[in-house]
Amino acid sequence: MTEAAGQRVSSGLEGVYIAESTICKVDGQQGRLYYRGYPIDALSKNSDFEEVAYLLLYGKLPNRQELDGIRKQMAEARDLPRGVISIITEMSGKADPMDILRTAASSLSAYDPEVSDQSPEANLRKSIRIISRVSSIVATIGRINEGGSYVAPDKSMGHEENFLYMLNGKKPTERQLEIMKDMFIIHAEHSSNASTFGTMVAGSTLADIYSAITAGISVLKGPLHGGADEAALRMMKEIGSPNNTESYIEGALAGKKKIMGFGHRVYKTYDPRARIIKEYLVNLQPDASDEVKRYTEIALRAEKLMVDKLGQSHGIWPNVDFFAGPVYVAAGIPVELFTPIFAASRSAGWCAHMLEYWKNNKLFRPLEVYSGDIDLEYVPIENRK
């Protein structure tokens, strides 16, 4: 918070509450996270993405019939229109996967007959289609980037299994499936983070939900937000050998560089999601590849150094993005798909917040303290220096 012209300015809206919500509680002091009141640990152990999407959208855990219903709706929506596949094909190799995702997801609106229907019922149906199709787009981006062609979805599979099937063109291993279930749940929602806020700002003008989600994808891309998972793994690749870890981190800190995957605007203690992902990563070591074992050792040594230096003293701890990379590598996910997968999962949280905010919509229009000139005289160009 700073002062300017007698006004309190909150840089980055730090400490500012923008709405009331019942979707997600982030306890930054205790390091706890709840989706609609359920602790993230319980959900990551017992649930799956379709059930979590239902929980976020409807505000309660589904009964058997309700769960079967959303599974069916999401499975029905998985197939991508040919025009969307063409966009992905055309951009593949020419653009960042997040740019391809942003463009392809935006184009979905051309294939939704309800795009302009702003009724809550239509917005809910569109949300479920979006949550399903963004995952199909991400899988197709990965598939085509690797030189493959579009794999039509398998409607008999669950969401995460179909994602991996569309990505790799074959059924996933148990391990791959386990990892994707965990990561889709853990990344689904996180209160008014930057990309959710971006979604809400777009929707607060009563732009349609496709416009709002496109805004969310655009915001998530940045390395200070969703792009940190890719940046953190690229750092681990750059460190190369575990014995280089401490000197690399010390050098970066000395150069005032930020270590991706650490620090958080809200968590001033260990991010509970980082704890879950780290535990998973450590547990999969026995049958992990040498590459994953190397990344894990680097990550654990970097964590120890960062926590010793900046944990208690500065409130800078590992966040959701730090250990995610090595776990994704263990599932055979290419690094350029890490943030697109984050977006595929968070599309559930974006839609849930948009539907909730529209119930009492208010255009977002913050103020700036103007500190420039006023009433200057207009000088014709011939008289300017």
The footprint of ligand SDX (CB under 6 A) covers 12, 190, 193, 224-225, 228, 258-266, 314, 316, 319-321
Query: Distance (Å, rounded) from C-alpha 69 to C-alpha 318?
Result: 37
Q: Judged by CB, which is closer to ligand SDX: 242, or 349?
A: 349
Name which of 87 and 101 has its Cβ closer to ligand SDX.
Answer: 101
Q: Which residue is nearest to ligand SDX (CB)?
A: 263
Nearer to ligand SDX, 280 or 317 (CB): 317
The answer to whether residues 192 and 18 touch, using CB atoms and an 8 Å cutoff, is yes
Enter the tokens of residue 277: 């992902």
Active site residues: 264, 321
How far CA 215 is from CA of 177, 257, 282, 288, 351, in Å, comes to 29, 28, 35, 37, 12
What does the CA dihedral 177, 285, 260, 253 come to, rounded to 10 degrees? 180
- Tokens coding 319: 């966040």
Farthest CA pair distance, the chain: 77
CB of 256 to ligand SDX, least distance (A): 7
The residue among 35 and 54 lying less far from ligand SDX, judged by its C-beta, is 35
Compute, in degrees rounded to 10, the torsion defined by CA atoms 205, 228, 103, 349: -50
179: Cβ–Cβ under 8 A, 6 or more apart, which residues? 280, 327, 328, 330, 331
In the bound complex, what is the minimum distance in angstroms from residue 347's beta carbon to ligand SDX?
A: 13
Q: How far is the CB of 251 from ligand SDX (least distance, A)?
A: 12
Beta bridge partners of 26: 33
Q: Closest approach of Cβ 284 to ligand SDX, in Å? A: 22
